[in-house]
Amino acid sequence: MIQTRTLLAIGLAAAVLIGIGAVFLATGGPDGLESAALVVHGEKSLTGPAPPDAEVKAPGRNGVSYIPPFPDYNLGVGSGRTGSIIAIVFGIALTFGAILGITRLLRHRRREENQE
Amino acid sequence: MHIPDSFMPLTQGIVYWAVALVFIGLSLRWARRDMDEERIPLVAVLAAGIFAIQSFNLPAGMGTTGHLVGGALAAIVLGSPFAAVFILTLVLIVQGVLFGDGGITTMGANILNMGVIGGFVGFYSFRGLLAVFNRVDPAAFAAAWLACFVPALAAAVEMYWAGTFPLREGLIAMGLYHAVIGFIEGAITVVAIRLIISARPDIIGTGTKAKVAGT
């Protein structure tokens, strides 16, 4: 059985490698929901390829237009693949840290309740 | 399957958020009760891995791409559908807020589809299929496939209610694409479960532990 610390290191290294691999190897193009949107708007046939200039039409069903700090997993125009790698590694670290922080906080609260 | 803000009226987004919040509350209760010091970092690593692998789109044919969602994986490994809700909620918050992958007003719907429906379908179909097949791999593969396919149909119905997709065309397109993407979900889920069982069988959740112990 692998020790927790070793598994943590292996798991995080694997996550970072997968994230970096995604920058170089992941397939571009619409995902399932975007492809379905292209089909229902007549821009793509059901089983055919997505036209290179096909754009997913945003129906604008609500007035919210949130602009994320790192759209499309990138630090911004001109940051290229390095920007994507940094953005994804940051996302991995933040997800790991957030789960760790929240679960530790919840455990701490449970211990406090048990002591009362 | 990440629904953007523009695909849904605000009022409907609020309704899905309200439903999702109930499950998020229950998932926090699960995390408080079921987590111990040994499992916490491993759950965090699993979440980080799911975040990473969600960014890795693979070709699914028919001009579309897909990636692992991870609802079935989280629920099966940690032995509770609420594990999927807990992990997918955090992953979807990071993706939506930082990277614009999925909307903010539609995040409740995305949590409901991928975390709640994906987690519950994945977990209970795994348990049922394991009783039938008596082997982890086919049960996990089929459960993960269902945990991709059923949320996609739910998203198609939500898109119909939102006035974004016609019902029939939406169901056919979403169903067809995610029926194929489900094979990616199934294959990665089986490999990940195998690796986790071989590395640390003790972290498999109590909800599935007894069933997979002999494999």
The per-residue pLDDT for B211 is 59
Please indicate whether, in this complex, the C-beta atoms of B56 and A107 are within 8 angstroms of each other: no
Q: Which residues, listed in sequence order, are joined to residue B64 by a DSSP beta bridge?
A: B61
CA A112 to chain centre: 35
What pLDDT, in 10s, does the model give residues A26-76? 998 899 999 999 999 899 999 999 988 878 877 777 777 889 999 989 998
Q: How far apart are CA A92 and CA B159, in angstroms?
A: 30
What pLDDT, in 10s, does the model give residues B112-154? 999 999 999 999 999 999 999 889 999 999 999 999 999 999 9
The per-residue pLDDT for B25 is 97
The per-residue pLDDT for B204 is 79
- Å from B69 to nearest chain A CA? 12
Residue A3 touches chain B, beta carbons under 8 Å: no
What pLDDT, in 10s, does the model give residues A72-91? 899 987 789 999 999 999 99
DSSP A62: S
Average pLDDT over residues B2-31: 96
Q: How far apart are CA B80 and CA B206, in angstroms?
A: 8
Judge whether B77 and B193 are in contact, CB under 8 Å: yes
Please indicate whether, in this complex, the C-beta atoms of A37 and B7 are within 8 angstroms of each other: yes
What pLDDT, in 10s, does the model give residues B62-91? 999 999 999 999 999 999 999 999 999 999
| Residue in the structure block whose two tokens are 């409907």 | B12
Please indicate whether, in this complex, the C-beta atoms of B57 and A104 are within 8 angstroms of each other: no
Give the chain B residue nearest A9 (alpha carbons): B45
Q: Which of B114, B138, B1 is nearest to B57 (CA)?
A: B1
What pLDDT, in 10s, does the model give residues B39-48? 888 899 999 9
The per-residue pLDDT for A115 is 77
Lowest mean pLDDT among A54-58, B61-65, B93-97, B159-163: A54-58
Q: How far apart are CA A92 and CA B148, in angstroms?
A: 22
Q: Which two three-digit tokens encode residue A42?
A: 């007549």
Judge whether B179 and B137 are in contact, CB under 8 Å: no
Q: How far apart are CA A60 and CA B135, in angstroms?
A: 47
Lowest mean pLDDT among B7-11, B92-96, B199-203: B199-203
Contacting residues of B for A19, CB less than 8 Å apart: 51-52, 55-56
- Å from A115 to nearest chain B CA? 15
Predicted ipTM of the assembly: 0.92
Q: Which of B54, B55, B61 is nearest to B178 (CA)?
A: B61
